[in-house]
Chains A and B, each alone.
Chain A
Amino acid sequence: MASNNIFSVLTTLPRRLSELLDSCPPEGNGVHEWLFKTALQLHRYFSEDEIIELLTENLSCARREREIRDAVVNAGKYFRGEMGSPSQKPWPAVDYTLVHKIVVNSPIRLKDLSSISPVDLSSEEPRTEEILDALFPGNPLLCFGRSVNACWTYPREFWRGRESDFQFIVPNPMSKEVGVTTDGRESRRCLDNTGSRQFVVSEFDISEDGDWAPYVRDWRNRGITIIDANIALIIELTARGLPRLPLGLAVHSGGKSMHAWCPCSGLTDEQLRPFMMRAVRLGADKATWTRCQFVRMPDGMRDNGNRQRVHYFAPNVFRMGGGLE
């Protein structure tokens, strides 16, 4: 129960903020984002401990205490102007109308993707080793994960032969085996030990609930699956519009999405962020913008037993790096 002091301030909050506080989405629909967004707004009125108390009371599902505290601490840094650039544009909202048009009109579906892949992917054997050799030539440090919290960072050669046993990989070479997180803890996977951005990976976060529901229903009636929709959006993002990056790899998550790997070495975040903004507007998860974010291991094995099959592989574009027109 909120203390008397908190209660008296709560009654004076702007209506929008009160509504935000009361509208924690259901689990799996952006609770993490809600924590941060709401904490950021509440910093104007409450102390960190008070915000943690308020968020905990309004959560729609159980969350780890550390996740809540991290969200509040990080939001505080943004609130005080200690992080981020004020000129940086916020991520755009999903443009459902545009997405719908793209998905419905796309000439490429899942069944067609392998046929336009420059490399024949019909073999049943995992090709993770070959693919990682193309993605990360030499012997750079790579971070692999069996789960989000069980990860290790070692040189490429250490992993040889067992790559496909893993679910996750950080899509950029690491700079050291262990780094320090923003709250001072040691970690094998954090921004501090992740090297420069070599790939932008996009994953379209389309679910059958919420705002997506009517569109997904419409697609289903037309015989279009969520994976087909993912492919349509990947094609749109990499073949049309600006900025545009070549498509190097398309990896099935083993669930209901596809990960698109686009090489970008040599390009700055300033040049690349508008690309990610396009992706987010088309429904991509902005989480993959974080350099140390795990993505699905190409041809790896998901914990549900599904193979994270590669449906498109263009090794030539990796040699090109972020080569410009």
Chain B
Amino acid sequence: MNAAEDIQEQLVAPAGLLPPGIRRPINIVDGKPELILPNDHTYFTECAEQCFWELAKTERFFRQGDLIVELIESPEGLKLVELAVEAFRSRLEAYFTLRSYVSLRGGGIALKKKICSHDNAKVLLATEAALNQLPAIQAVVNSPVFAEDEGGKLTVLNRGYHRCNGGIYVLGKREINTAINVDEAVRALLAIVTDFSFLAESDRSRCVAGFISPALRFGRLLDADFPLDLCEADQSQTGKSFRMKVISRVYGEGPFVITLSSEAKKGVGSLDESLSEALLSGAPFIALDNLRGEISNQLLESAIRGEGKVAVRRAYSRTTQIETDHVYWLATSNRAQTTPDLANRSIITRLRKCAPDFQFKHYAEGDLLTHIEKQSDYYLSCVFTIVREWHVRGKPRTHETGHDFREWSQNS
């Protein structure tokens, strides 16, 4: 379409009005929306309303609790980070043509190009408009999510931002095969765990549940608390961490791994800070690797089963309340001594070390993890097939009462 055709179409497009709360007309200057910076002629609120309304449309800036966050590229992929004042000043330049009213010598005022001062940026970030206009976000996931719409119908949240479930951003596009039948899906998921040596048959069941549970968690299909998925082994090299990786790879994820120290530590580098960082990153899988010694952490316990919200704080930042019901918690341990509280918050899968001469299954792609990575669309389709069937059947439940997480155990 050439420029004239493009204009021809725009000229007859329906009227576009200012959104509620925005009082100042919006002009396009140098190809970007003009933002008139606050000063004696422009109120902070006036500027902030337009600023954050425009930034909300980019689907790059969000509100997490009462923090303003930005989705940025990192070596681990896209993640949420708090938007610092310094960064905000340059982001404004990227998205707007910044101008400000200046008084003229001969009287009157005129608009001139300006950069946003540190003070202005700080005040803008602290306005109510920032919190009101920016969409909420909890999780950033790589794969589509099954969720229920307002009518309770199962729907797929595909690539992009979705307001439901506290705000979820789906980064990747996956080929979900809806033609897989339930029997095939069950067989495929059971086949994944054939190389693991379980202490008891019930451990196998809990392990398989671990592949399906994240789908229920991310889509809020189960209105219940989810336990910490703890994998225990009698020895090292039994495949605990491997299992954790396999589960997250089905969903196209890599877990946010926290290594716990047995020494109680506070402040910078403490477990609280690591947990805060993990929760604020929006990562869907948080893994506590190699728990050793006594684990007693109030934040962890509250995050797994509390009020659904915890107060978190990044290093050198302020505390904010964020929701935790988007996280699937994983943990591995050889001999963790947990508090009774944490034990009650866990679902434990026990593994045995395979015999030295055990022949692991070989896949065309290499080992199991590589196979899952390459075939993750297929395995995610299998998970979705099972979830869809469970949903179609009206979310049937068992009468299991042997666990504190009754809702979860009756469905899983």
Contact = CB atoms under 8 A, between A and B. Distances in A.
Q: Do A and B come from one complex?
A: yes
Interface of A: 16, 19, 89, 93, 95, 97-98, 101, 107-108, 112, 115-116, 118, 235-236, 238-247, 264, 267, 271, 274-275, 277-278, 281, 312, 314, 316-317, 320, 322-325
A115 B8 CA distance: 9
Interface in B1-27: 3-4, 7-8, 10-18, 23-27
Interface string B109-121: 1110000000000
Contact of A116 (B7, B13, B18, B34): B7
B14 A246 contact: yes
B277 to A, nearest CB: 39
B108 A314 contact: no
B28 interface: yes
Nearest to A260: B11
A312 B111 CA distance: 32
B28 A240 contact: yes
* Size range of the chain B interface in the assembly: 20 to 34
B394 interface: no
Contacts of A316: 12
B352 to A, nearest CB: 63
Contact of B7 (A89, A118, A235, A244): A235
Contacts of B340: none
Interface in B36-52: none
Contacts of A243: 15-18, 25
B84 interface: no
Contact of B24 (A239, A274, A275): A274
B75 interface: no
Contacts of A264: 15
A312 B107 CA distance: 39
B104 to A, nearest CB: 10
B23 A238 contact: no
B16 A242 contact: yes
Contacts of B23: 89, 274
B29 interface: yes
Contacts of A98: 27, 29, 34, 111
Contacts of A274: 18, 23-25
Nearest to B2: A107
Report the 6 A-B pairs with minimum CB-CB distance, sorted nearest first. A239-B10, A278-B25, A274-B25, A242-B26, A107-B3, A244-B16
A323 B13 CA distance: 9
12 contacts: A97-B110, A107-B3, A235-B7, A241-B28, A242-B25, A243-B25, A246-B12, A247-B11, A275-B25, A312-B11, A323-B14, A323-B15
Nearest to B5: A116
A238 B11 contact: yes
A19 B107 CA distance: 11
A204 to B, nearest CB: 15
B76 interface: no
Nearest to A312: B11
Contact of B11 (A16, A93, A235, A322): A235
A57 to B, nearest CB: 22
Contacts of A242: 16-18, 25-26
B30 interface: yes
B15 A267 contact: yes
Contacts of B107: 16, 19
B408 to A, nearest CB: 44
A283 B13 CA distance: 23
A155 B182 CA distance: 72
B14 A320 contact: yes
Nearest to A282: B27
Contacts of B109: 93
B34 to A, nearest CB: 8
Contact of B16 (A236, A312, A324): A324
A212 to B, nearest CB: 15
A266 B107 CA distance: 39
A179 B16 CA distance: 34
A277 B36 CA distance: 15
Contact of B4 (A108, A244, A278): A108
A94 B11 CA distance: 23
Given A98-B111, A235-B11, 16 more contacts: A98-B27, A107-B7, A112-B4, A116-B7, A116-B8, A236-B28, A238-B11, A240-B10, A243-B17, A246-B11, A278-B27, A314-B12, A316-B12, A322-B15, A324-B14, A325-B15
B55 to A, nearest CB: 15
Q: Which of A89, A264, A274, A316 has the most CB of B within 10 A?
A: A274
A238 B27 CA distance: 11
A241 B14 CA distance: 13
Given A108-B7, A235-B7, A118 B12 contact: yes
A246 to B, nearest CB: 5
Contacts of A317: 12
A325 B12 contact: no
Q: Which of A107, A242, A323 has the most CB of B within 10 A?
A: A242
